[in-house]
Amino acid sequence: MAQNFDVVVIGAGPGGYVAAIRAAQLGMKTAIIEREFLGGVCLNVGCIPSKAMISAAHFLQKAQHDAEKMGISFSGVKVDFSKTLNWKKSVSEKMAGGVAQLLKGNNITVMMGEATFQNPQELKVQSTEKSEIVTAKKFIIASGSRPIEIPGFAFDEKNILSSTGALALEKVPQSLVVIGGGYIGLEISGYLSKFGSNVIVVEASPQVLNGVVDPDCAQIVSRKLQKQGVEILLKAKALSQKKVGSQFEVVIEIDGKPKTLKADKILVTVGRRPNSDQLGLKTLGLQIDQRGFVVTNSQRQTSVPHIYCIGDMSGQPMLAHKASHEGVLVAEVIAGHPRAYDVKTVPAVVFTDPEIASAGMMESEAIAKGYKGLMISKFPFAANGRAVSILETDGFVKMIADSKTHILLGVHIVGPEASNLISEAALAIEMGARLEDLALTIHPHPTLGETLMEAAEATLGHAIHLIQKPLGRSREATH
């Protein structure tokens, strides 16, 4: 006999579990189906464990290099990598356990198994123990994405790794070739390099993080990685690999010529693809675009009206916080609330060293959208007292505004705590704030947050802690 629900959510990642909780809060009988682990990729093999490892590597670097500048010396700094991995695991388990408690506390039925649509009204849930049929008035697809494989580099997660395999490494590889200089590749490259791995990044574009972040921000991170010992090969394409002895030989093409790299492990991070080829979606007649994303309207409703789709499956940006926002939105839409996806910006963060965070438009995007006059300036962290006191002065806050209205169009931060600083910028853009709104808001001193106020002042042309030289359309600040 089928189990019947008001709402069934497929996928318990940051989009799915949030959607289920909000649906239950709104009084709907709700079930969530997950084939692998509560919290999805993000909590278990993605966002959370990777940030745990990045944090551990940051502590190591501070102890090895920065502390002595403050007069604090450590003798014999050692890394017990197995303990580091256990700590990383404990962080993920704690977060996933929290999700389980939230689902239980909201009386949500949790079903572990593989979900497949039998028809638009029925799902089959197959676990190792049993097969069940589930029906619902509304379905929310939140089944996420997976790493893209490239020809000749099929994942075995032991030697040829996706991000999942990289996060499961039991010891630091002596050498590593990373194919793909996007945010995942650079985050993992950065922390493994700090733990002692010799890393080579192979990127097909002219720069790392190409098209992902502001080019000026990408340059700062690229320089820091190379200073750290990471080799970055640009305009390079991976062609093949083979095992030779205890290592792999990776053949790449760079400057039109073949070159062979040697490494103990290979990490492939060329992007992720939505899981739209799963769940039996093709039998439903759902509209799916050429990139594999399920087509939805502004309420995240698919071409089958009682089926909704959120998160990585519903299109770019493929970010956890965008999925969570959509999860709440769809639950409220189903409950009859007047909601639609109408955000001005989805902030993005790259947890490199230094961090990069962005909200709003890049300069190229603003020009493409027809803005003819832009006000642009930077405020460097080297001019911020708090950044100097924590020995993290690389980077800047960059602001882009409309020269006619002074409305803030984009903020791009590369530097310490960029991930935490960007929320103020996202709120400002969402509210339609002007440069004056940020510049005239008193920020506490001494803090990293002052850099946003000072960047706004610099963009207006009257920074206090910089000597500025007007440069026509763009005002560049110099310290």
446 and 458: one domain? yes
CB within 8 Å of 4: residues ≥ 6 apart = 29, 134, 135, 136
Alpha-carbon Rg of the chain, whole angstroms?
A: 24
Same-domain check for residues 49 and 180: no
Q: What are residue 171's phi and psi, to 5 degrees? A: -145, 160
Split into its structural domains, the chain has a count of 3
pTM of the full structure: 0.95
Which residue, 380, 403, 404, is CA-closest to 392?
380
Same domain (yes/no): 232, 136: no
Residue the block writes with tokens 């960029």 = 418
Q: Return the sign of the alpha-carbon dihedral for residues 251, 195, 183, 155.
A: positive
Residue 403 and residue 376 in contact, taking contact as beta carbons nearer than 8 Å: no
Q: Residue 4 corresponds to which tokens in the numbers above?
A: 């019947």
The answer as to whether 343 is a domain residue is: no
Beta bridge partners of 400: 376, 410
Same domain, 93 and 120: yes
**Do 298 and 256 have their domain in common?**
no
HSE-up (13 A, CA, CB side) for residue 214: 29
The tokens for 460 are 């207006």
- My answer on whether 190 and 297 are in the same domain is no
Same domain, residue pair 443 and 326: no
Q: What is the CATH number for 85?
A: 3.50.50.60
Query: Are 311 and 362 contained in the same domain?
Result: no
List, by residue number, the catalytic residues. 445
C-alpha 218/C-alpha 355 separation (Å) is 10
In a domain, residue 340? The reply is no
pLDDT attached to residue 149: 96
CATH number at residue 390: 3.30.390.30
Last residue of a domain, one of 270, 298, 317: 270
* Residue matched to tokens 């029906």: 135
Angle in degrees, 0-180, between the axes of helices 81-105 and 47-61, rounded to the nearest 10: 140
Phi, psi torsion values for 391, nearest 5 degrees? 60, 40
254 and 295 fall within a common domain: no
Are 130 and 170 contained in the same domain?
no
**What is the rounded CA–CA span in Å between residue 69 and residue 221?**
22
User: Which pLDDT tens digits describe the chain residue by residue (479 residues)?
Assistant: 789 999 999 999 999 999 999 999 999 999 999 999 999 999 999 999 999 999 999 999 999 989 999 999 988 899 999 999 999 999 999 999 999 999 999 999 999 999 999 999 999 999 988 999 999 999 999 999 999 999 999 999 999 999 999 999 999 999 999 999 999 999 999 999 999 999 999 999 999 999 999 999 999 999 999 999 999 999 999 999 999 999 999 999 999 999 999 999 999 999 999 999 999 998 898 999 999 999 999 999 999 999 999 999 999 999 999 999 999 999 999 999 999 999 999 999 999 999 999 999 999 999 999 998 999 999 999 999 999 999 999 999 999 999 999 999 999 999 999 999 999 999 999 999 999 999 999 999 999 999 999 999 999 999 999 998 764 444 444 43
Tokens of 115: 């979900």
Asked if 183 and 307 sit in the same domain, the reply is: no
For residue 321, being part of any structural domain is answered with yes
State the residue for tokens 């356990």. Answer: 97
Same domain, 306 and 257: no
Asked if the structure places residue 436 within a domain, the reply is yes
**Within 13 Å and on the Cβ side, how many CA atoms surround 366?**
22
Tokens at 177, concatenated: 């070739």
The verdict on residue 311 lying in a domain is: yes
Give the DSSP letter string of 388-446.
HHTT----EEEEEEETTT-BEEEEEEEETTHHHHHHHHHHHHHHT-BHHHHHTS---SS
Is 341 inside a domain boundary?
A: no
Q: With 0-12 CB in 10 A as exposed, 13-18 as middle and 19+ as buried, what is 169?
A: buried
Is 48 part of a structural domain of the chain?
yes
**pLDDT confidence of residue 1:** 76
Residue 470 has what pLDDT? 62
Structural domain harbouring 447: 348-472
Establish if 309 belongs to a structural domain.
Answer: yes
